[in-house]
Amino acid sequence: MQCVCRNPGRRGDGFRGAFTLVELLVVIAIIAVLIGLLLPAVQAARAAARRTKCASNLRQIGLGILSFADAHRGRWPDSTHTSEADPDTGGFTRAWIYTVAPFMEGVDEVRICPDDPLLSDRLRLKLTSYALNGWLTKEPEMRGDGPGFDNLRKITETTRSIIAFELSEKRGDSVFGDHVHSFMWFRDANKQAGTVYDMIDLEVALKRHYGEMAPYLYADGHVETIAAGTIRQWASPPWQTPEFSKPR
């Protein structure tokens, strides 16, 4: 009897041989392309989540600030200008974020932006990624920039008045800063020199988040995310009256 032997390499016999080197390389190339397409989307989603977390932090802090003001006849919390430095760390233990801490839950969970490059330093020094609007202090009047809004009751348009920004890491003392000098941004000298936007960019993290934008806290407690390009328009002629940073 003649024996019929099957060739395991033939496709018509119900068997399939192992991948060839070319086929394996094609599969690897397809996987690499898929990863290359998915990775930016995943990174963008994570960045957007961090931006949302930052805005949520600022919203919760805003509730604490407004609760503090309500309990103190409209007075805003003090900035580091009225605080004393800790002799051990050099940090300001009486920065406004801890002044309002009793009026909110879990201050340590919300006082730092997850995208802040100075995150570790601010955590160690018990400071914050967020800065009060300088118009809320007595500094404008002291520096000759006109009366400030050192009391919530002086603000009549709370939905249009910014009270806190996200602090930039560019300013020399930004680790210890807890307020911005917004009353100086639109001085005539800066307008004439065309440096208004640069002054703002030095103190506010305008492009820190995905999409080159940042959150802004308003006096009614709501938070708006505004693109850096919009801020640049507001920092260019024709000048708004009042400027966007000045409460009204």
Percent of the chain, pLDDT > 90?
58
Tokens 């806190």 belong to 164
Give a yes or no: residue 212 inside a domain. yes
Residue 173 has pLDDT above 80, yes or no: no
Cβ atoms < 10 Å from Cβ of 237? 8
Three-class SS of residue 147? coil
Higher pLDDT, 200 or 21: 200
Per-residue pLDDT at 89: 46
Q: How far apart are CA 222 and CA 55, in angstroms?
A: 10
171 three-state secondary structure: coil
Average pLDDT over residues 76-83: 73
What digits encode the pLDDT tens for the residues 181-194? 999 999 999 999 99
- pLDDT value for 207: 95
Domain assignment of residue 15, yes or no: no
Cβ-Cβ contacts under 8 Å for 99 (sequence gap 6 or more)? 68, 77, 78
CB-neighbour burial class of residue 174 (10 A; exposed 0-12, middle 13-18, buried 19+): buried
Domain assignment of residue 164, given as a range: 20-234
In a domain, 10, yes or no: no
Label residue 124 by pLDDT band (50, 70, 90).
confident
CB 89 within 8 Å of CB 95: no
Residue 240 included in any domain: no
Percent of the chain scored above 70 by pLDDT? 87
* pTM for this predicted structure: 0.81
Task: Examine residue 247 and state whether it is found in any structural domain, yes or no.
Answer: no
Residue 179 belongs to a domain? yes
Domain count, the chain: 1
